[in-house]
Amino acid sequence: MIVTSIETKDNKLIIHFFSRENDKEYNWSVGITNTTELNEKEEEALYRYLKEKAHKIKSINFEEYQNFTDTTAIYPNKGNDLIYPILGLNGEVGEVTEKIKKIRRDKQGIIEEADRLELAKELGDICWYIAACCTELNISFQQIIKMNIDKLNSRKERKVLQGSGDNR
More confident call, 123 vs 56:
123
Does residue 168 form part of some domain?
A: no
* pLDDT (0 to 100) of residue 43: 66
CB-based contact 4:120 (threshold 8 Å) = yes
Tell whether pTM > 0.85: no
Domain assignment present for 166: no
Instruction: Tell me the percentage of the chain whose pLDDT exceeds 70.
Output: 67
Banded model confidence at residue 138, pLDDT cuts 50, 70, 90 = very high
pLDDT at residue 3, rounded to an integer:
62
pLDDT at 84 > cutoff 70: yes
In a domain, 105, yes or no: yes
- At 66 the pLDDT is 93
Tell me, yes or no, whether 86 and 148 share the same domain: yes
pLDDT of 144 > 80? The answer is yes
Rounded Cα distance, 31 and 39, in Å = 11
- Give the range of the structural domain holding residue 18, as residue numbers without chain letter: 2-54
Total number of domains constituting the chain: 2
- For residues 111-140, give the mean pLDDT: 94
